[in-house]
Structure 1
Amino acid sequence: MTLNDTVSGLAGLLALQDFSPVYREADRVRREAVGDVVHIRAILEFSNHCRRQCRYCGLNSRNAACDRYRMTPEEMVDSARAAWEAGYKTIVLQSGEDPFFTSALLGEIIREIKRTGLAVTVSCGEMPREDYAHLRACGADRYLLKHETADPVLYDSLHPCGTLSERIACLKTLKALGFETGSGFMIGLPGQTNETVARDLLLLREIGCDMAGIGPFIPHPDTPLRDLPHGSTELTKRAVALARLLLPKANLPATTSLGVIDGKEKNDVFSCGANVIMRKVTPDAYKQKYEIYPAALGHTDIKAERAELENMIRGLGKIPQ
């Protein structure tokens, strides 16, 4: 099929009554561009302190009900080592924007984790260029910074403490510094249209993203958006498929939020262009406290959960890695 890669063209595709031809094309492009491997990433959520006030996020600084924590560097390295021993090849170090974890401290932790053999993705929000450069020099391989929405008016309404232009500038800096750069956005934000989603997709391509996380909005009860419905899983899958067509070689995860709403949909997305899945390795003492959105979480068993994912991926006819 020929992709009409304009805002109106992509919005028209998102609105199709029968999207199955696009899903088939996305699956074909995925197979040709990145093969049948599904990459399994470990996520370590090491701090839920955050200076931001994002109106959709349970970690926002105005949420007095959030039980805050910080892992120690030793706990972080031990968790990463356990992930490596279980077979993971990449760990995602994720936190709120926590000033306690300076670039100097994060750099030391990254250097130590790299000794295990793991690739390191960092997802800790906006930083000055010199801080990003230091993390890169310490061995960080990838950086994930979702733009959340490409509509500047909608962005401002959801983020009282930052602007879309600042977020895009950070993403372009990360790309220029040589990080494998990841962004992404939510489906189902208030006021979002198919045209908004089309602009989100085109922004991913403009930045030249190497990875993109696209997931449905899930309301958190302790945020101003508590009463809104969750985002559409179908529209989420459609956006993933179009992201595959626009960015054939990108890593596109089946996001955790998609699985929270519907576990079957999370597996279905692997036939729509996705090629990555993530699993929390956050210790039990902290796991439930990292609540961007509500989710039922079980006991962390890094080896068992890795084996479970591998079996699931093989059951889909794909190759776990």
Structure 2
Amino acid sequence: MTDIQSILDKEQYSVEDITTLLQLEGDNQKLLFKKSEETQLKYVGNKVFYRGLVEFSNVCAKNCYYCGIRKDNNNVERYNIEDKDIIEAAIFAWKNRYASMVIQGGERSDEHFINRIDHLIQQIKKETNGDLGITLSLGEQTLETYQKWYNSGAHRYLLRIESSNQNLYEQIHPKDQLHDYNQRIEALKSLRKAGYQVGTGVMVGLPGQTFEDLANDLLFMKEIDIDMCGMGPYIEHKDTPLFERRGELWPIKKRFSTTLNMIAMLRIIMKDINIAAATALQAIDPMGREKALKIGANVIMPNITPTFNRKNYQLYENKPCTDEGAEDCGNCLSMRIELANREIGLGEWGDSKHYFKRKNK
């Protein structure tokens, strides 16, 4: 019988070690969570940082097989929030001391889109006296575009790899120039060159995915030396090609439990990065985000998208909080943070400690 504590006590973990730990349940899982919480409190502390999330558009040029806002999904009502409403949401975040926001939307790389984002960043910085931190999650762009946005005031960027296994990546994306695995890797490198705090992440429980794949995902994140991570359970959407493979999926509770194990392991392996408690966890378990905060996550994203648009930003089914206003969402999350015995880091950007350590090497 494997001695789980002896594995947890190691300084370095092999793929086999991580594969074993990712499958833990019951009392053995509690041992994993105990170590990850101890690591969290020692290296990043008790604070949880807000990122006010604006999902400003569901217009997308891509056709990823898992995503509900993919270009060829004709069953979604497309929207594009006006600049003034995005800036108003940013001011709300600033006045409520969230200190940071995330601008997220469907992926585009046309000139109009690039210039619009650049203008928005500059306007948000102007309207908030430069106080509001800005994270972008807008997909693959050129180094020139990344640099342009960085120079205008964005300083964190989330670009999820979805799976570091190239074969699996190619099963969940069309095989064309717009969905190329190596291009994704290059985009992550370009973000580093541009100066961003770089984030990535994966989906947990994809059709055909193994625990060994997930172990390698964690080692991939360590190898490319990320500063932050956002990952969550794969939740199928009926209007996507990948929905046809739903018969291959792990039970939803297994996807949820494994995601928590992934967060815990990543915290142990990369002690001082920022890890987000994904909204998708709450789609499975009403206390999903609290559970993530207890075992390693230290970032949470209250949705400040105007309520009438939220229902149309459905990357997956049963997304929570689509009918709440920005104030409702913030109040709810503050209670969740307290339930997790954590402190809200209001008025602080909550930048990745790992980023500054890496920069100062």
TM-score interval w.r.t. the shorter chain?
over 0.9
The CA deviation at 1:205 is 1.0
Q: Does 1:77 align with 2:87?
A: yes
Aligned to 1:320: 344
CA contact (8 A) 1:27 1:272 kept: yes
CA contact (8 A) 1:129 1:173 kept: yes
Distance 1:234 1:62 in 2: 32
Please list the CA deviations of residues 252-299 of structure 1 after superposition, one character each: whole Å capped at 9, or x if unmatched: 111000111112232112221111111211112211111101224343
Identify the structure with the greater helix proportion. Answer: 2
Greater Cα offset, 12-21 or 175-184: 12-21
- Match of 1:263, SS state, is coil
State which of 190, 204, 209 in structure 2 corresponds to 1:173: 190
Residue 15 of structure 1 aligns with an amino acid whose one-letter code is Q
- Match of 1:134, SS state, is helix
Greater Cα offset, 85-94 or 136-145: 85-94
- Match of 2:274, SS state, is coil
The CA deviation at 1:171 is 0.9
Aligned pairs, how many? 321
Please list the CA deviations of residues 69-108 of structure 1 after superposition, one character each: whole Å capped at 9, or x if unmatched: 1112112111111222222111100001134553222111
Q: 1:303 to 1:16 in 2, by over 3 A?
A: closer
Aligned-residue sequence identity (percent) comes to 32
Q: Does 1:303 align with 2:313?
A: no
The CA deviation at 1:305 is 2.6
Q: 1:223 to 1:3 in 2, by over 3 A?
A: farther
Please list the CA deviations of residues 90-143 of structure 1 after superposition, one character each: whole Å capped at 9, or x if unmatched: 110000113455322211100111231210000000001100010000010100
- What do you get for the CA RMSD once the two structures are aligned? 1.6
Please list the CA deviations of residues 198-237 of structure 1 after superposition, one character each: whole Å capped at 9, or x if unmatched: 1111111112111111200001110112252446111000
Segments ≥4 residues shifted beyond 6 Å: none
State which of 92, 107, 114 in structure 2 corresponds to 1:103: 114
Distance 1:204 1:291 in 2: 27
Q: Does 1:28 align with 2:38?
A: yes
CA contact (8 A) 1:86 1:303 kept: no
Q: Does 1:9 align with 2:17?
A: yes
State which of 217, 228, 238 in structure 2 corresponds to 1:200: 217
The CA deviation at 1:170 is 0.8
Distance 1:61 1:304 in 2: 31
Distance 2:189 2:265 in 1: 22
Normalising by the residue count of structure 2, what TM-score does the alignment of the two structures yield?
Answer: 0.85
Distance 1:188 1:298 in 2: 24
Distance 1:104 1:204 in 2: 31
Distance 1:178 1:239 in 2: 27
Unpaired runs of at least 5, structure 1: none
- Match of 1:46, SS state, is strand
Distance 1:158 1:183 in 2: 17
Aligned to 1:128: 142
Normalising by the residue count of structure 1, what TM-score does the alignment of the two structures yield?
Answer: 0.95
CA contact (8 A) 2:203 2:232 kept: yes
CA contact (8 A) 2:157 2:198 kept: yes
Distance 2:93 2:114 in 1: 23
CA contact (8 A) 1:150 1:203 kept: yes
Aligned to 2:6: none
Q: 1:3 to 1:241 in 2, by over 3 A?
A: farther
